[in-house]
Amino acid sequence: MAIASYGNRFVQVYMKRERRLYLFEFWQNGLCLAEGYISHLVPVAQTIDLWLSSECSPDDLVDQFPFIAPYDNSTFKEAAKQVEKRWDFYCSDGEFPELQTFFHLAAQDEVLSQLCPYTSLYTLRFSRCAEFPFDSEGMPDVTPKAYENYAFSLEKSKAQAITLPPDEGEIFVVIINRTQYVGEGNATTALQLVKSLLPPGIKPIRKHGQQ
């Protein structure tokens, strides 16, 4: 996979080697707006140049290049509504008071707010899909410092933690792969750690079963 980006737009290009077929997606503000496929590389370069060097709309792409079609975002919009409801629930519910500071901060973040939140053993986790079974493989988790021993078993002496300056306020522990300690700090520091650990090129949430 290759990615070309400029500003709030980018294009993802995939290649099926056995058929020498180029598949590509046109993204803006974290939302896929158009897609296409063709066996020749030159038209791919032309579409990428137009998308990144101008403010053309998806319709403009479709009009100029017949091998491009609008991307159906109806399932994305449905999933996005589910995620928004989950963030609203966690931010307004008093069942997890120790996580409230982080909930409110993450819900306002343009990246984390697009992922589906769920909790397990006092820990906040992030999923790529909006419904069960959740997809959180390789994603970071956040646990209140007071509950770290309940949430997971970890030998910090063997962990290569990120060195951070002392923080004031409620402290949150950030882990990855369920048991690997990364670091800890207040809500702002924990948010920065979480975002630094997100898989590269992570896509917005989806309905379960979508790729």
Q: What pLDDT, on the 0 to 100 scale, is given for residue 30?
A: 67
Please spell the DSSP secondary structure of 93-138, one letter per residue: -SS-GGGHHHHHHHHTSTTGGGSEEEEETTEEEEESBSSSSP--TT
Given 28, 45, 70, the domain boundary residue is 70
Given 40, 70, 100, the domain boundary residue is 70
**188 and 113 share one domain:** yes
**63 and 101 share one domain:** no
Collapse the DSSP code of 1 into the 3-class scheme (helix H, G, I; strand E, B; otherwise coil) and give the result: coil
Q: What pLDDT, on the 0 to 100 scale, is given for residue 32?
A: 79
Least confident window among 63-72, 165-174, 189-198, 200-209? 200-209
Q: Does an H or E element contain 155, and which? A: none
Higher pLDDT, 77 or 112: 112
> Going by C-beta distance under 8 Å and a sequence separation of 6 or more, which residues neighbour residue 125?
117, 118, 119, 134, 136, 139, 141
Q: How many domains does the chain have?
A: 2
How far apart CA 118 and CA 125 sit, in angstroms, is: 5
Given 45, 70, 95, the domain boundary residue is 70
> Going by C-beta distance under 8 Å and a sequence separation of 6 or more, which residues neighbour residue 10?
3, 4, 27, 52
**Which structural domain range is residue 63 located in?**
2-70
Chain-centroid distance, C-alpha 16: 25
Q: What pLDDT, on the 0 to 100 scale, is given for residue 122?
A: 84
- pLDDT band per the 50, 70, 90 thresholds, residue 203: low
**Mean pLDDT within 84-91:** 88
Q: Evaluate whether residue 193 is within a structural domain.
A: yes
**111 and 183 share one domain:** yes
Instruction: Give backbone dihedrals phi and psi of 163, rounded to 5 degrees, phi first.
Output: -80, 125
How far apart CA 99 and CA 172 sit, in angstroms, is: 8
**86 and 66 share one domain:** no
Chain-centroid distance, C-alpha 48: 23
The answer, yes or no, to whether residue 34 has pLDDT greater than 70, is yes
Q: Determine if the pTM surpasses 0.85.
A: no
How far apart CA 207 and CA 82 sit, in angstroms, is: 10
**93 and 11 share one domain:** no
